[in-house]
Amino acid sequence: MKDNLKINKIRKQVQDGKPLGGLNGLYYRYKDYHIIAQAISDYIIPYYLEEIYSKRIEDIYYIKDYDSLKDGSYGFHLNIPYCKFIKGDQITTVGKYKEILKTTDANEDREYYNGKIQVIENKYQQYSESFNIEQQKKVDYVCLLRNQYEENEDETVKYLCYLLKDSFYPFEWSCQPTIEYNSNNQVAIAEYYLPTLEECPKIKEYDPNEFDKLLSQTALKKLYEELIYRITLRTIAEIFHYDYLRRISSVCFNGRVKVRNAGTGKLEDNCILSLSVRREEFNNVELRYVDAKVCFKHLKGVVGAKLYDYSPIVPIMQMSKDDKRFVDSHNVSTDSSTNLATMDWEEFEHLVRELFDMEFNNNGGEVKITQASRDGGVDAIAFDPDPIRGGKIVIQAKRYTNTVGVSAVRDLYGTVINEGANKGILITTSDYGSDSYNFAKGKPITLLNGGHLLYLLEKHGKKAHIDIEQAKRLYKKD
């Protein structure tokens, strides 16, 4: 990426005590950096707008020749740090050695200083070759990923994860991005590790002659929240931007942190914020002018009371394609003659999956059916991106001819807790007793009886009927 940090100018301003412009005080040195924390936060979104937005991959990942760098410059290109050695400037070591050579005739001195010059020039050549090789490797690899992305939709995740991980920030933490992409509904779920308060830049002022002045704890916490919201918006923007084939129509961003619980001392992996947004909605946001926190709230993001407390929240959408219970599903044909109460129980589960898929699909959700077990376990799992009613929803289907007992409702409640789901839905061809309705009160459980089932079928253009007595007679014969 183009080195837009203006390192030397800022460093000179700091040393001369002049007021800082541009990045409001970003000061960077190779392998030894002094970061003005507020400048880093203010830099997050402008960097995206200046260095990524509206640019093609080849305009971002390109070779910058080492010899073309300005003498004495420090910085990063393609996330590769560089320090440009100077060979000819009078104020440099080489320049001083050459001045000495002009004033001495002693062979011993000339041999000594020529040797010193040769060592420095060899080091220059070494840095030049190393920098150019590292750039070429990265450019070649990104081109490979881009080509794979264009040729194969299955390569979308690998391509995007690499670019997110390589995205430049002038401070370090491990973001470890992972993305799960569903080509059917074009939804991408991004799991992304955010910096902790300890990893957040802390320097308030840089003094080259004394210790750096640090932010107060109150100021640091305020800056941390600002930083997290900006990273969230920028990451979503990068996903949509790099997906120039527009395969992804909606992104659910789940921001996580790994921290130790102060009470137990155990390492926890908490989701601390979640935001689901459609491409069209996000494209209407003018990132250059928004307040990141206000924008996050406007887009109906979910977050705990205080980000710096790392309070865990339930993600708006959380899907695990590694869940081995998920199986391929199919649609079921029905008409007015179809008696749901006599339908094959596996077909009934597929019908329920199809029904809820239609119910949630308009909002970008998805329903996955689990392996047929007939053991009262999870029959289907819905992933609803709606920030208010959504999340992970466990669905159980009961093709019953008798009243569903309270034990089935208790089992569902236990499953909701064990699955870490937001809600449970129990749907049946029959009805529930009063004990079941009483148990479900005040709990994240919805009970749908045969009447609700027929209503939902009709709502989505399917016809069927429920004849409990016919089913009982049929089963009695069997």
Lowest mean pLDDT among 47-51, 216-220, 276-280: 47-51
Q: What is the mean pLDDT of residues 234-251?
A: 96
Model confidence over 187-207: pLDDT tens digits?
899 999 999 999 988 888 776
What is the model's pLDDT at position 51?
Answer: 86
Q: What is the mean pLDDT of the chain?
A: 80
Q: What is the mean pLDDT of residues 193-222?
A: 85
Give CA separation, 221 vs 41, 107, 206, 461, 469, in Å.
13, 63, 20, 53, 65
Please give the structure tokens belonging to residue 254: 């789940």
What is the model's pLDDT at position 428?
Answer: 92
Interatomic CA distance for residues 230 and 155, integer angstroms:
27
DSSP structural state of residue 105? -
Strands (E), 84-156: none
Cβ atoms of residues 256 and 270 within 8 Å: yes
Count of residues for the chain? 478
Using the predicted structure, report yes or no on whether residue 330 has a pLDDT greater than 80. no
Model confidence over 41-91: pLDDT tens digits?
888 998 889 888 889 998 989 888 877 777 666 667 777 777 665 554 433
CATH of domain 326-477: 3.40.1350.10
Interatomic CA distance for residues 326 and 414, integer angstroms:
20
Using the predicted structure, report yes or no on whether residue 354 has a pLDDT greater than 60. yes
What is the model's pLDDT at position 123?
Answer: 74
Confidence of residue 20 (pLDDT cuts 50, 70, 90): very low
Interatomic CA distance for residues 204 and 36, integer angstroms:
6
Comparing 306 with 128, the larger pLDDT belongs to 306
Confidence of residue 11 (pLDDT cuts 50, 70, 90): very low
What is the model's pLDDT at position 416?
Answer: 84
Q: What per-residue string of b and e applies to 115-134 under the rule 16 or more CB within 10 Å gives b?
A: eebeebeeebeeebeebeeb
Q: What is the mean pLDDT of residues 443-452?
A: 92
Q: What is the mean pLDDT of residues 245-254?
A: 94
CA end-to-end span of the chain, whole Å? 73
Confidence of residue 3 (pLDDT cuts 50, 70, 90): very low
User: Reduced to 3 states, what is the DSSP secondary structure of residue 146?
Assistant: helix
Lowest mean pLDDT among 3-12, 36-45, 222-231: 3-12
In this structure, the strands spanning 423-428 and 391-398 are parallel
Model confidence over 370-417: pLDDT tens digits?
655 444 456 788 877 665 566 788 898 888 989 999 999 999 988 887
Please give the structure tokens belonging to residue 331: 């649609």
Checking phi first, is residue 220 left (phi over 0); if not, alpha (psi -120 to 50) or beta?
Answer: alpha
Model confidence over 94-125: pLDDT tens digits?
556 666 666 666 666 677 767 766 776 777 77
Comparing 300 with 363, the larger pLDDT belongs to 300
What is the model's pLDDT at position 9?
Answer: 38
Model confidence over 291-329: pLDDT tens digits?
999 999 999 999 988 999 999 888 888 755 455 555 555
Q: What is the mean pLDDT of residues 348-365?
A: 80
Comparing 115 with 228, the larger pLDDT belongs to 228
Query: Which residues belong to CATH 3.40.1350.10 in the chain?
Result: 326-477
Cβ atoms of residues 51 and 2 within 8 Å: yes
Q: In the β-sheet with 187-193, what is the strand arrangement from edge to edge? A: 178-182, 187-193, 250-260, 267-278, 302-303
Cβ atoms of residues 334 and 342 within 8 Å: no
Interatomic CA distance for residues 206 and 137, integer angstroms:
36
What is the model's pLDDT at position 333?
Answer: 83
Interatomic CA distance for residues 120 and 97, integer angstroms:
11
Comparing 465 with 420, the larger pLDDT belongs to 465
Comparing 13 with 433, the larger pLDDT belongs to 433
Q: What is the mean pLDDT of residues 337-354?
A: 86
- In what helix (H) or strand (E) does residue 214 lie, and over which residues does it extend? strand 213-214
